[in-house]
């Protein structure tokens, strides 16, 4: 199956700092999504971004499909950004299952 590697595995930031999370994948994809899992376990969809760049408030994401990676930018981080960020991909011609990475655990301190 497709390999999804996320880095860094853990990240601690002070409130107000910026960060970049990376997702590398091993095969061509036609679907890539970023999720945030909050400390209560709820998974929230952040971006549907198989290619290109999108922005939503303090968050933005870029996927370079030809080079098999995606980046999630968090600017001016807040304590509510804490949680685990997952990248999930759907390999071309493999059905519609999204395969998740192991996530980046982010802690934003006051």
Site of interaction with other proteins (CB under 8 A): 4, 31, 33, 35, 41-45, 48, 86, 88, 95-103
User: Alpha carbon 3 to chain centroid distance?
Assistant: 15
For the CB of residue 15, give the shortest distance to other proteins in the complex, in Å: 25
Of 23, 2, 26, nearest in space to 99 by CA: 2
- 45 or 76, CB closer to other proteins? 45
- 74 or 88, CB closer to other proteins? 88
Cα angle 67-89-44, degrees, rounded to a multiple of 5: 125
For the CB of residue 87, give the shortest distance to other proteins in the complex, in Å: 9
Q: How far apart are CA 31 and CA 10, in angstroms?
A: 25
For the CB of residue 4, give the shortest distance to other proteins in the complex, in Å: 8
């Amino acid at each position: 199956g497709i390999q999804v590697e996320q880095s860094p595995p853990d990240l601690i930031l002070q409130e107000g700092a910026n960060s970049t999370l990376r997702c590398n994948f091993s095969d061509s994809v036609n679907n890539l999504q970023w999720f945030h899992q909050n400390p209560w376990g709820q998974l929230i969809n952040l971006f549907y971004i198989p290619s290109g760049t999108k922005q939503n408030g303090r968050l933005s994401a870029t996927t370079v499909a030809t080079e098999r990676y995606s980046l999630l930018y968090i600017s001016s981080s807040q304590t509510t950004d804490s949680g685990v960020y997952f990248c999930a991909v759907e390999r071309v011609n493999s059905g519609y299952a999204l395969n998740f990475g192991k996530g980046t655990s982010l802690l934003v301190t006051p």
